[in-house]
Amino acid sequence: QSDEPFRLVVTHLEPPLVPSSVMDLALTLGYFEREGVDVELVRVQQTPSALAALQSGDGDMANIGVDALLQAIAVGADDLRAVTSPNKSLPFLIAAKDSVAAPSDLEGAVFAIGRIGSVDHSLSAEVFDTLGVDIDSMQLFSVGQPNVRAQALAAGQVDATTMSIGTWVSLPDRAGLHVLIDQDAYYAAAPVVSKVNAVPASVLAERPEDVEAVIRALIRISRDFAADPQLWVDAMAEALPHVDRQTLETLAPSYAGSWSINGGMSAAELRETTDWLYRTADFAGMTAPSLDAWVDFGPLDAVLAEVGIVDGADPADR
């Protein structure tokens, strides 16, 4: 075991208004400490930086997109393993101008995506598909980062785009905009695991107790929040004094089923996610790896053996 702090790399700069806030709150509320692990949060902007941090040894665990992890593994970073997922389903929604009343109105309109083949593009295509709308009937516009997409929508430069609910609620002025497809409908249409916490093999080998302690702390805090949403509201209000408490109160119930009470790692869901991703354009021509090539259930199972599995929450099938 090392005396060094355990560096957990996250891709947000302050506790986000979504369930992945458990990583920040577990630190401020002392969950990590209670599990005996000295966690240091390292904040980066985007998944590529987080991945690079894992590879350089400057991070021990990173919360990253599944697509990026699979890409990295596909090109040779084959010692990375997903061990848990505090935010398996990012609460995405599709927001649009008021003039776009129904998804079918988007035909011929401008729809902003990150870029051709990116996850938000593929996910949105899937969502529109289940609603009977062909995404290719829209003018797709590659705009990049989520906040830029939101700005472009707010500025009236595009007609609709995909964003997380956190981004949506932090938009300062939503006049003239509305939610076209909400997060539940979105997830129902495209049920894929979007983010996982990954660790390199070296950390798994050298600091297994720390990895387990982190997973344990995240499960404990998720269970506490699931049991009492008001706890999350209080903690967030403290962490983000500038956010309207009313907003937090509205958001809290919508996350009722989103907390990763059992670690957020369902083998079936992960397998589906792999298959789905490998059908998208970004992975064209590659063969999907088996689950054990990128997931290690070991640490999570050890934790679950200790804290027990809660039925009716996120499945812990293997």
Partner 1 sequence: MIGSREERVASPWLVAVTRLGFLLLLLALWWIASQLVSRNVIPTPLATAEAAARLWADGRLAAAVLTSLGTYLGGFALAVLVALPLGIVMGAFGLLGRTLEIYVYALAATPRVAFIPLIIVLLGLGIEAKLFVVFLGAVMPIVINTYAGVRQADVDLVEMAHSVGAGRAQIFRAVVLPGAVPYILAGLRIGATIGLINTVVAELYTAVTGLGGLLALYGNSFRMAEYFVVVLTLAVIGVLVTELLRLLEAHLTRWST
Residues at the interface with partner 1 (CB under 8 A): 9, 13-14, 42-49, 52-53, 55-59, 68, 71-72, 74-77, 114-118, 141-145, 147-148, 150-152, 154-155, 157-158, 167, 170-173, 175, 242, 282
Q: Tell me how far apart the alpha carbons of residues 219 and 224 are, in angstroms, rounded to a whole number.
A: 9
Least distance CB 56 / partner 1 (angstroms): 5
Q: From the CB of residue 116, how many other CB atoms can be counted at a distance below 10 Å?
A: 11
Q: Which is nearer to partner 1, 86 or 146 (CB)?
A: 146
Nearer to partner 1, 214 or 240 (CB): 240
Instruction: Identify which of 174, 176, 222 has the alpha carbon closest to the alpha carbon of residue 197.
Output: 222
Least distance in Å: CB of 51 to partner 1?
8
Alpha-carbon span 168 to 186, nearest angstrom: 14
Mention every residue, 6+ apart, whose C-beta is less than 8 A from residue 52.
Answer: none
**Residues 159/106, Cβ–Cβ less than 8 Å:** yes
Tally Cβ neighbours within 10 Å of residue 208. Answer: 15
Query: Which one, of 40, 17, 5, lies nearest residue 239 by Cα?
Result: 17
CB atoms within 10 A of CB 253: 8
Q: Whose CA is closest to 95, among 11, 14, 171?
A: 171
Nearer residue to partner 1 within complex by CB, 74 or 313: 74
Residue 179: which residues within 8 A CB-CB, separation 6 or more? 93, 94, 95, 96, 168
Closer Cβ to partner 1, 294 or 297, answer by number = 294
Q: Which is nearer to partner 1, 10 or 125 (CB)?
A: 10
Which CB, 55 or 313, lies closer to partner 1? Answer: 55
Cβ neighbors of 133 (< 8 A, separation 6 or more) are: 103, 104, 106, 107
* In the complex, least distance from residue 75 CB atom to partner 1, rounded to whole angstroms: 4
* Residue with Cβ nearer partner 1 (44 or 219): 44
Min separation Cβ 7 and partner 1, Å: 9
* Residue 313 beta carbon to partner 1: minimum distance, rounded to whole angstroms: 30
CB of 24 to partner 1, least distance (A): 13
Rounded to a whole number of angstroms, the minimum distance from the CB of residue 107 to partner 1 is 20
